[in-house]
Structure 1
Amino acid sequence: MGGLTYIDFLAKFGIGGAHPGGIGLTKSILDDEKITNECTILDAGCGTGQTAAYLYDQYKAEITCLELNPIMVEKAKSRFQTLQLPIQLIQGSVEEIPFQSNTFDLVLCESVLAFVNKPKALKEYYRVLKPGGRLIANEMTINAKLNKQEEQEIIQFYNIDSLLLETDWMRLLEETGFKNIEMKAHHLNLMEGNTAQEFNFSQGFEPELFSILNQHGNMLLKYHDILSHRIFTCSK
């Protein structure tokens, strides 16, 4: 595949709301939070900026976006400029967040932790949250243990370091220091929920990306009972 990854596919297809449940689920999760125009929010791993644009449009909050992938950064920047949204966008890693401690009221993380060093990123989320601040994470979660071969197939395709059960995520959040940890099993397998998908294609993208799209579809079919996600909310 010429070294191209699932993240390259997401970036070059410009998929907005690639996380499980898409923007529809994001809206219903945010409805449960007490967000006002005085909130400072970090969209950690903002992708093409779809959620951030919604957050500003809906709440007029102070939004900061952090995204590592340069193609996604350009697409998010273009979105914010076109819509004239006063959203700060920084290229950087969630493993080393370029902000002072106790900066944000809310950190939102949608299908990001799966692709990074989880303990490192969670420590950073905890650090930049204000005391009492909230973390909302919508993350890939397996419903049951897999055998080594199956686990390796998924890990290699998505280029991730590990697959976590619900209990593994809860333990990680506790070990980081988070309190009031709640888990919502939005029983949606990864085949469902992204009906209104948004695309913003890069010019001249590689044909191999279509094979990644096909493999992704095959993975979701093969592991539809196992590959799922959970929504975690907690406080500092």
Structure 2
Amino acid sequence: MVPITHSKYLDFLSKFGIGSAHPGGFDLTKEIFLTEKINKTYHILDVGCGTGQTAAYLAAQYGAKVTGMDINPIMVEKAKNRVTKYQLPVEIIQGSIENCPLENNQFDFIISESVLAFVNAPKSLKEIYRLLKSGGRFIANELTINYQLDTSNKEEIKQFYGFDSSLLETEWIDFFEQTGFKNIEIHPQKYPIVQNNQIPEYQYSEYIEPELFMVMIEHFNMIAKYEGALDYRIFSCTK
């Protein structure tokens, strides 16, 4: 299994069990699906499913067959607990999208929400392309920088969040095109990078390291420091 760079931020997300920590939160997630023709015949993969909030919603709302995958064992356990509690037909597996254990051409739809910045994006996109059926859809809500940052700023962001890369919009599009995706679209950003209108969902671990209680404040400080530079985009494309 390919390790993700260690970061206090990822530790914080897993121990606090925060659902929909991505930009726009769960409200944006639900809006994204309204534009897609999802039904109960769909087999969907939620890449980096976290606590399973999106995967559970897709199964409950649309009756779709859903697989959720996450590399973090704490997140996987919490996602499994969720689908068991609500008796949803969702399979949760532990794995990395950089080297996915699943077979070719089996998904009608794949979603990633703030995942690809943490991994090798070109390698992960090739895996996503491999997993999609012909004509299958991929939607990514991913961190984007609006302009190039100097090396020290990039390193500060990387060290805190555990990012593998910080990409411009044009660089994301280049990777999609190089992978072979078609009909690449960028959707309007309705929400700010930090959505303050929602109360996040928490699933606390029994033990949380004391230093993790300050990570949320550090996160908001990073967003404020890099306001105008750190952003996100919603990309959609077709195999």
How many Å separate the matches in 2 of 1:141 and 1:64?
Answer: 26
Q: Partner of 1:105 in structure 2? A: 108
> Aligned partner of 1:131: which letter?
S
5+ unaligned residues in a row in structure 1: which ranges? none
1:124 aligns with one of 127, 133, 152: 127
How many Å separate the matches in 2 of 1:66 and 1:101?
Answer: 16
Q: Partner of 1:43 in structure 2? A: 46
How many Å separate the matches in 2 of 1:191 and 1:132?
Answer: 33
Whether 1:77 aligns to 2:80 is: yes
Q: Partner of 1:135 in structure 2? A: 138
How many Å separate the matches in 2 of 1:7 and 1:185?
Answer: 27
**1:188 touches 1:228 (CA, 8 Å); kept in 2?**
no
Whether 1:202 aligns to 2:223 is: no
Whether 1:6 aligns to 2:38 is: no
Identity %, equivalent residues: 55
Q: 1:26-37 to 2 correspondence within 5 Å?
A: 26-37=29-40
How many Å separate the matches in 2 of 1:72 and 1:18?
Answer: 13
Q: CA offsets, 1:79-123, max 9 Å, x none?
A: 001101111111111111111111100011111001011111100
Describe the SS at the equivalent of 1:95.
Answer: helix
Describe the SS at the equivalent of 2:158.
Answer: helix
Q: CA offsets, 1:120-156, max 9 Å, x none?
A: 1100000010000010100001112212221211111
Q: Runs of 4 or more off by more than 4 Å in structure 1?
A: none
Q: Partner of 1:54 in structure 2? A: 57
Shift of 1:194: 5.8
5+ unaligned residues in a row in structure 2: which ranges? 1-5
> Aligned partner of 1:43: which letter?
D
> Aligned partner of 1:209: which letter?
L
TM-score (norm 2): 0.94
Number of residue pairs matched? 234
How many Å separate the matches in 2 of 1:233 and 1:52?
Answer: 18
**1:188 touches 1:229 (CA, 8 Å); kept in 2?**
no
Q: Partner of 1:215 in structure 2? A: 218
Q: Partner of 2:3 in structure 1? A: none
Q: CA offsets, 1:197-221, max 9 Å, x none?
A: 1111111200110232221111011
